[in-house]
């Protein structure tokens, strides 16, 4: 009898301890879930136009320069870069003099092979090659190299397929596309879930506003930013671009920034 009572008491004690441990684990799990919910997601990327194809992106303590040209003076008031992305070999995208004027201590440069091959040893040693289609994880964000090239027969020599990169950056839940110098290529039209698209349009080097608008209406970014629109001899009609996009899909917001602060347009 006493033995049965002791066994019953032991079983109850084990059950009580088990329940307490289960409750403790549930409380700890709830606390962890609450802490995860309280962690703030990084704010959306801040993008500052410098001129033409040059921009500064700031996101989650990262400062990224896109196609830095114009000398160190062009970046007065901007934080120093942590990373630099270069799209192509032309002087409005790749300018060794500007790069050498910047503080490049600890900076990683991402560029196509065609760009790296034109660098001196000092710059080349800081540069990682990205080829079309490659994706890299860097400092909490990802970036994919998108092809950029001309389609029109008379323009094919300006930008040959495989030489340069556009880039799609994924910052948290935000996806941002910089086209580089390109026309309305299939790879652009196939883009998905783009929040902000920076799309070039200038003749004779890239594409018409009509072609740019038609591509934008196909891949449907939430916002599109016309940039790189100074051509030779004419400046592209970004108001016409905006009108075509707005008429085709009013849900796409066209955002016009000042890409030419030293010009009237």
The predicted pLDDT at position 39 comes to 54
| Residues 90 and 181 grouped into a single domain | yes
Retrieve residue 78's tokens: 């901007």
129 CB-contact burial (10 Å; exposed 0-12 / middle 13-18 / buried 19+): middle
* Winning range, highest mean pLDDT, from 2-11, 30-39, 213-222: 213-222
| Residues 9 and 91 grouped into a single domain | no
| Residues 129 and 226 grouped into a single domain | yes
d(CA 55, CA 60): 17
Could you read off the pLDDT of 166-210 as tens digits, one per residue? 999 999 999 999 999 999 999 999 999 999 999 999 999 999 999
In a domain, 262, yes or no: no
CATH code: domain of residue 217: 3.60.15.10
What is the crossing angle of helices 238-248 and 209-219, to 10°?
30
In a domain, 238, yes or no: yes
d(CA 94, CA 92): 6
3-state secondary structure of 59: strand
| Residues 119 and 145 grouped into a single domain | yes
Q: Which of 173, 166, 179, 265 is nearest to 216 (CA)?
A: 179
The predicted pLDDT at position 27 comes to 60
In a domain, 259, yes or no: no
The rounded percent of the chain whose pLDDT value lies above 70 is 85
Whether residue 28 is predicted with pLDDT greater than 70 in this model: the reply is no
In a domain, 80, yes or no: yes
The rounded percent of the chain whose pLDDT value lies above 90 is 77
In a domain, 135, yes or no: yes
Output the DSSP codes for 72-124.
GGGGTTSPPPSEEE---SSTTT--HHHHHHS--TTPEEEE-HHHHTTS-HHHH
The predicted pLDDT at position 19 comes to 52
The predicted pLDDT at position 264 comes to 81
Asked whether 104 and 119 are in contact (CB, 8 A), the reply is no
Q: What is the mean pLDDT of residues 212-226?
A: 98
Domain that holds residue 24: 1-39
| Residues 3 and 104 grouped into a single domain | no
- Domains of the chain: total: 2
The predicted pLDDT at position 149 comes to 97
| Residues 71 and 192 grouped into a single domain | yes
Could you read off the pLDDT of 40-49 as tens digits, one per residue? 667 899 999 9
What residues form DSSP beta bridges with 143? 136, 169
Q: Which of 54, 10, 45, 21 is nearest to 173 (CA)?
A: 45
The predicted pLDDT at position 34 comes to 46
| Residues 217 and 182 grouped into a single domain | yes
């Amino acid at each position: 009898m006493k033995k049965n009572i002791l066994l019953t008491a032991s079983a109850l004690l084990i059950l009580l301890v088990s329940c307490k441990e289960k409750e403790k684990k549930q409380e700890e799990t709830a606390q962890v879930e609450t802490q995860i919910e309280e962690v703030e997601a990084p704010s959306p990327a801040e993008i500052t136009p410098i001129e033409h194809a040059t921009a500064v992106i700031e996101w989650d303590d990262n400062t990224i320069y896109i196609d830095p040209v114009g000398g160190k003076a062009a970046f007065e008031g901007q934080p120093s870069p942590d990373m630099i992305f270069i799209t192509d070999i032309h002087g409005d995208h790749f300018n060794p003099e500007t790069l050498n004027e910047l503080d490049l201590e600890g900076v990683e440069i991402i560029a196509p092979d065609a760009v790296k091959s034109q660098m001196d040893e000092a710059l080349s040693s800081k540069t990682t090659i990205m080829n079309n289609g490659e994706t890299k994880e860097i400092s909490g964000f990802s970036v994919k190299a998108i092809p950029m090239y001309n389609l029109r027969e008379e323009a094919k020599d300006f930008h040959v397929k495989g030489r340069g990169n556009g880039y799609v950056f994924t910052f948290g839940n935000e996806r941002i596309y910089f086209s580089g110098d390109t026309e309305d290529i299939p790879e652009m039209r196939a883009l998905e879930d783009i929040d902000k698209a920076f799309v070039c349009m200038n003749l004779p080097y890239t594409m018409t506003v009509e072609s740019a608008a038609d591509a934008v209406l196909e891949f449907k970014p939430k916002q599109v930013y016309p940039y790189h629109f100074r051509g030779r001899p004419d400046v592209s009609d970004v108001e016409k671009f905006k009108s075509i996009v707005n008429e085709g899909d009013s849900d796409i917001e066209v955002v016009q920034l000042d890409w030419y602060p030293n010009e009237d347009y």
